[in-house]
Chains A and B, each alone.
Chain A
Amino acid sequence: MESAGTLDVPALFLFRCRLKNVTKAISPEALQAHDVSVVFSGLRALDHVSLYVNPGEILGLIGPNGSGKTTLINALTGQVHLAGGRVVAGTEDLTGCPPRVIARSGIARSFQIVRLFNAMTVAENVETAALAQGENRRQAKERAQGLLAEYSLSGQAGEIAGNLNYGDKRRVEIARALAARPRYLLLDEPAAGMNESESGDLLKLLAALPQKHDLGLLIIDHDMSLIMRLCHRVHVLSSGRTIASGEVEAVRNDPAVIEAYLGSSPEELS
């Protein structure tokens, strides 16, 4: 049960080495979208998009409004029907599986608009994710207590989630996603609506996630400086197509990316 949090030193060392080596190549355990297309009543929301997230890696998914970022997360988690392509996690083919099956294979997500269980307590919210993975109430409770402490939410554990302020709700959502012990975590604009200091705190928290919880992280955000500082690699979508993908530095100077963010000068992207 307690495999995630308790890496011993040699394992951690190996893990770090692996991380350095795999950022450029696809790991056999990676979460991948192969040639994924999604069509909404004739409109191609995603057009043959391929992307991968390795374990232990942070991938930024960026692009102008309406470029298909959220649709891609929805495609990876089974919330939309695929018009083509495949979704694979390691050796598991998840194409066409319903959201709950994908969730149980270790892929968790957050939502662009916070979706908490508003009539339930903060602790119950976090417990739910562990319960949905098949844990019993006692295990789920312990899991939730640990995560709430980690995200300094212990004081609010008994509050009704709907009554929290916005920043706290965001953190509860992340803690809830982690309670499922995911292999991959997909965050849809976690910093949206946060002020400078809140998003600074969030950045620290997110940067530590892959090592601390042994997962691969895919993150959508409009806050470019956050993405550029946080991510190992960046994937850029525009009008449902991949226009660039790779190391942060290379993508930042890609002319296609600059054009997609028309009006944004390269300085603004730094």
Chain B
Amino acid sequence: MRHILTAIVLLGLIAIIVFGIELTGTRLMVRIATNLCIMLVLVLGLQVFMGNSGILSFAHIGFMGVGAYVSAMLTIPLQMRSMALPDLYPIVAHIEISPYLGILLGGGIAAAVAAALSYPLMRLSDAAAVITSFAFLVVLHTIMLHWSAVTNGPRTLFGLPNITTLPLAAGFAAIAVITALIFKESRIGVLLRASRDDEIAAGAMGANIPYLRWLAFILSALLAGIGGALWGHYVTSFSPKAFYLKETFVVLGMLVIGGPNTVTGAVAGTILVTLAFEGLRATEGFLNSIQLFSKPVIGLTEIILAMAMIVMLSLRPGGFIATREIGDTVMRWFKFRDKTQ
């Protein structure tokens, strides 16, 4: 019951944003909302692994890149393909699939890569797990930089069909919310959260912790891949540097500020940080246009996000919404009110 309420509240929030902007919004507003929905898919993907296992993963954005490049390789129209990817392997060079299928396949391949490579890492905990996940990101990034046949190397890859509209992105965001909630409350999710809170006690109870983490990591990579492909079909051209530290930092910032342990926190963090970003970007533009300072103001967004993370981690380490989902909080509030009356 309380889980259904959580889903209703979160999906309602997304629906209000999307319909409100579809009906009244300017092109700028539509752009911001579409970006928000894509970020929701990515942040919820990270929440699936990080929130339930308690292990910070830097590799997430790498899987976003895998999804984007897989979909690009298969969906760039054939007449542009030989220009965009001249060295593409003959097996796939003449296949053009629907971009919608490409998005799903992007997620699928990202999940398959995660499944094949990540199991040994899942045996690690704490700092060792974090550092190896960072190494994983570096490896994926290096491959994207140098596998010219598939990624066009460090150069920009262009020509993806532009199919990501606000309703499509919002649809995937809704699916991501539901997936994250179901996973969190599933048998695997509960056991994984137990291992997050106390690894020794969970192991002593019979939980196969590396296996549970592995499953979560695969699901997390699936969402990251879908998010990456969605993003690819939105911007239509990108290079490997789009899937590296800056993006990692933004997604991580959204999740940490919102509260990694709850789906509500992930959604709230994404919305808050997106709003803050757009506000700061506008402020930056305004400051530069009135030439308050002799030199242009740049990097305001990054500095404020970094400071927000520091403040949040020192004052509320669990993030904005640390333990209870919104549905749970609402139900408890009603029960409390009934008791006191």
Which residues of A pack against B, CB within 8 Å?
A: 77, 79, 98-101, 103-104, 108-109, 111, 115-120, 124-125, 127-129, 131-133, 136-137, 140, 158, 160, 176, 180
Contact of A109 among B191, B204, B207 (CB under 8 A): B204
Contact A100 B196 (CB under 8 A): no
| B175-214 at interface with A (beta carbon < 8 Å) | 185-187, 190-191, 193-194, 196-198, 200-209
A117 touches B203 (CB 8 A): no
Given contacts A103-B205, A137-B190, contact A117 B198 (CB under 8 A): yes
Give A255 to B217 CA distance when docked, in angstroms.
Answer: 58
Q: Which residue of A lies closest to B204 (CB)?
A: A99
Tell me which residues across on chain A come within 8 A of B194, comparing CB atoms: 117, 120, 124-125, 128, 132
Name which of A98, A109, A120, A176 has the most chain B CB atoms within 10 A of its CB: A120
A244, B289: Cα distance in complex, Å: 87
Given A136-B187, A137-B190, also A100-B201 (CB < 8 A)? no
Given A128-B190, A137-B186, A158-B332, A117 and B208 touching (CB < 8 A)? no
Q: Once the chains are docked, how many angstroms separate the CA of A125 from the CA of B194? A: 8
Residues of B within 8 A of A132 (CB): 191, 194, 202, 205-207
Task: Enumerate chain B residues within 8 angstroms of A116, measured Cβ to Cβ.
Answer: 197-198, 201
Known: A101-B206, A109-B204. 9 other contacts (CB 8 A): A98-B203, A100-B209, A103-B203, A119-B323, A128-B207, A131-B191, A132-B194, A176-B205, A180-B205
Residues of A near B332 (CB, < 8 A) are 158
Residue numbers in B under 8 Å from A140 (CB-CB):
187
Interface centre among B198, B201, B318 (most CB of A within 10 A): B201
Q: Does B261 contact A (CB under 8 A)?
A: yes
B261 touches A103 (CB 8 A): no
Q: Which residue of B lies closest to A179 (CB)?
A: B205
In angstroms, Cα B206 to Cα A158, docked, is 24
Q: Are A100 and B208 in touch, CB under 8 angstroms? A: yes
